[in-house]
Amino acid sequence: MTCSSVQVQPYLLEALEEKFTLHKLDTTTEPDKAARFLRTHRDSIRAVVGTAFVGADAELIDQLPNLEIVSSYSVGVDKIDLAKCKEKGIRVTNCPDVSTDDVADLALGLMLAVSRRLCPIDRYVRSGLWSKLDFFSKQFSGKTVGIIGPGNIGMAIAKRAEAFGCPISYFSRSQKPACINYNYCPTVVDLAANCDILVVACALTPDTRHIINRDVIDALGPEGVLVNIGRGPHVDEAELVSALLEGRLGGAGLDVFQDEPNVPEELFKLDNVVLMPHVGSATVEARKAMADLVVGNLEAHFLNKPLLTPVV
Whose Cβ is closer to ligand O=CC(=O)O: residue 249's or residue 312's?
A: 312
Catalytic residue of the set 231, 234, 287, 301: 231
Nearest approach in angstroms of CB 52 to ligand O=CC(=O)O is 4
Catalytic residue among 59, 87, 223, 260: 260
Q: Is 231 a catalytic residue?
A: yes
**Cβ-based nearer residue to ligand O=CC(=O)O, 236 or 255:** 255
* 225/249 Cα distance (integer angstroms): 7
Q: Other C-beta atoms within 10 Å of 160: how many?
A: 17
Query: Hey, what amino acid is at 69?
Result: I
Output 219 or 282, the one with its CB closest to ligand O=CC(=O)O: 282
**Of 194, 97, 93, 225, which Cα lies nearest the Cα of 155?**
97
Binding residues for ligand O=CC(=O)O, rule: CB under 6 A, are: 52, 74-76, 99, 280-281
Whether the CB-CB separation of 78 and 57 falls below 8 Å is answered with no
122: exposed, middle or buried (C-beta count within 10 Å: 0-12, 13-18, 19+)?
exposed
Cβ-based neighbours of 73, under 8 Å, separated by 6 or more: 8, 12, 49, 50, 51, 52, 95, 290, 291, 294
Contact 144, 122 (CB under 8 A): no
The minimum distance between CB 90 and ligand O=CC(=O)O, in angstroms, equals: 19
Question: Per DSSP, what are the bridge partners of residue 49?
Answer: 3, 71
* Closer by beta carbon to ligand O=CC(=O)O, 191 or else 286: 286
Question: Of 91, 117, 234, 278, which is the active-site residue?
Answer: 278
CB of 168 to ligand O=CC(=O)O, least distance (A): 23
Amino acid present at 263: V
Q: Shortest approach of ligand O=CC(=O)O to residue 99 CB, angstroms? A: 6
Q: Smaller CB distance to ligand O=CC(=O)O: residue 55 or 146?
A: 55
Asked if 278 is an active-site residue, the reply is yes
Q: In terms of CB distance, is 52 or 64 closer to ligand O=CC(=O)O?
A: 52
In the complex, what is the shortest distance from the CB of residue 86 to ligand O=CC(=O)O, in angstroms, rounded to a whole number? 20
* CA proximity to 29, closest of 1, 2, 4, 65: 4
By the 10 Å C-beta count (0-12 exposed, 13-18 middle, 19+ buried), 248 is classed as middle
Sequence-ordered list of residues with C-beta below 8 angstroms from that of 305, at least 6 positions apart, any chain: 299
- In the complex, minimum distance from the CB of residue 223 to ligand O=CC(=O)O, in angstroms, rounded to a whole number: 29
Catalytic positions are 231, 260, 278
